[in-house]
């Protein structure tokens, strides 16, 4: 019997009947379906609930119902256990998700029949070192971003690749992105698009006050070291736009390739460039362009 976990964004509209449909369809085919206790209670199926920490321990596959944000969060939690994820798009762009709601049942048929591939994506790890001690450690699929706070004041970020000095950027911030993250914040800041099968990192300054500062593409085996040289104003580290912490003067942020990899289930034979055309054009339509 396959054990399939559901990760559900409860804030999405009409998610309850969709979950009911998935649960009924899978259990009718001999699968065990589980989800976190809070989600199970909220959706009226408390008998399916298990503790959150058990979800990635007991499941063979996770179905992620939401948008890219839900999938990013799930990737961080599931990557250490190597659990593959199937993203079902309930959001807008759905760059990382695999199927939309109208494709749900045919997609599940393919899943149970084993007609899918698993695409592995590089992840990164960000550590904050303060006075010689690691005070924060986070993994992410998209990016690690160091940014200024609310006031319109530049911050100064002394940046090294391995032990080679690159620059002290006077900027609004700095992005270190994976190939997956190259289509996110880094793209908006002028970074290059990178095909997702590559293992590398993109270092993109945000609004640098410099004539020569440009995005860098570096080997995945490299380590990016950033020292905060701003005494005034708030400076933040965020990973995947979801987790993070405040930084202090002289804090060091180390970003490197994670030992873990996200595993995304693919049911369709779509190229990266096809997705770019579809999703970025869709984003322009949603924004009224």
Residue 185 labelled as part of a binding site: yes
| Contact criterion met (CB below 8 Å) for 74 and 7 | yes
DSSP state of 131: T
Any idea which residue has 């620059």 for tokens?
167
In angstroms, what CA-CA distances link 230 with 60, 84, 171, 227, 233?
46, 41, 11, 9, 7
**Cβ within 8 Å of residue 117, ≥6 positions away:** 265, 266
| Contact criterion met (CB below 8 Å) for 195 and 179 | yes
Q: Which of 232, 213, 225, 214 is nearest to 154 (CA)?
A: 232
CA atoms of 259 and 114, how far apart (whole Å): 27
Residue 199 labelled as part of a binding site: no
Residue 133 labelled as part of a binding site: no
Residue 153 labelled as part of a binding site: yes
Report CA torsion sign: 284, 199, 65, 126: negative
Residue 266 labelled as part of a binding site: no
In angstroms, what CA-CA distances link 210 with 154, 172, 206, 213?
12, 12, 11, 6
**Is 251 annotated in the active site?**
no
Residue 142 labelled as part of a binding site: yes
Residue 186 labelled as part of a binding site: yes
Residue 32 labelled as part of a binding site: no
Residue 143 labelled as part of a binding site: yes
Residue 107 labelled as part of a binding site: no
Residue 68 labelled as part of a binding site: yes
Any idea which residue has 């362009």 for tokens?
289
| Contact criterion met (CB below 8 Å) for 245 and 136 | yes
User: What SS3 state is found at 57?
Assistant: helix
| Contact criterion met (CB below 8 Å) for 34 and 3 | yes
Which of the residues 24, 38, 68, 163 is marked catalytic? 68
| Contact criterion met (CB below 8 Å) for 131 and 256 | no
CB atoms within 10 A of CB 4: 23
Residue 169 labelled as part of a binding site: no
Binding-site positions for NAD(+): 68-69, 73, 142-143, 153, 172, 183-188, 242
Catalytic residue set: 68
Binding-site positions: 68-69, 73, 142-143, 153, 172, 183-188, 242
């Amino acid at each position: 019997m396959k054990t399939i976990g559901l990760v559900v964004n409860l804030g999405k509209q009409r998610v309850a009947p969709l979950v009911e449909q998935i649960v009924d369809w899978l259990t009718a085919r001999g699968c065990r379906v589980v989800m976190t206790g809070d989600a199970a209670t909220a959706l009226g199926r408390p008998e399916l609930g298990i503790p959150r920490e058990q979800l990635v321990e007991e499941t063979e596959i996770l179905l992620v119902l939401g948008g890219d944000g839900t999938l990013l969060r799930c990737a961080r939690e599931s990557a250490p256990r190597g659990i593959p994820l199937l993203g079902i798009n309930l959001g807008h762009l759905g760059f990382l998700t695999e199927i939309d709601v109208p494709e749900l049942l045919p997609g599940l048929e393919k899943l149970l029949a084993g007609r899918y591939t698993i695409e592995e994506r590089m992840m990164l790890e960000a550590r904050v070192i303060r006075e010689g001690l690691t005070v924060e450690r986070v993994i992410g699929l998209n990016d690690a971003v160091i940014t200024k706070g609310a006031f319109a004041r530049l911050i100064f970020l002394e940046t090294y690749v391995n032990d080679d000095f690159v620059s002290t950027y006077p900027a609004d911030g700095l992005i270190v992105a994976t190939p997956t993250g190259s289509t996110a914040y880094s793209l908006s800041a002028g970074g290059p698009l990178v095909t997702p099968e590559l293992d590398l990192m993109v270092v993109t300054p945000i609004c640098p006050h410099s004539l020569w500062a440009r995005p860098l593409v570096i080997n995945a085996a490299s380590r990016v070291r950033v020292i905060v040289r701003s005494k005034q104003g708030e400076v933040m580290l965020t990973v995947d736009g979801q987790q993070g912490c405040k930084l202090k003067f002289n804090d060091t942020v180390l970003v490197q390739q994670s030992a873990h990899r996200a595993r995304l289930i693919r049911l369709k034979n779509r190229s990266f460039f096809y997705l770019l055309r579809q999703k970025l054009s869709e984003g322009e339509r949603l924004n009224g362009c």
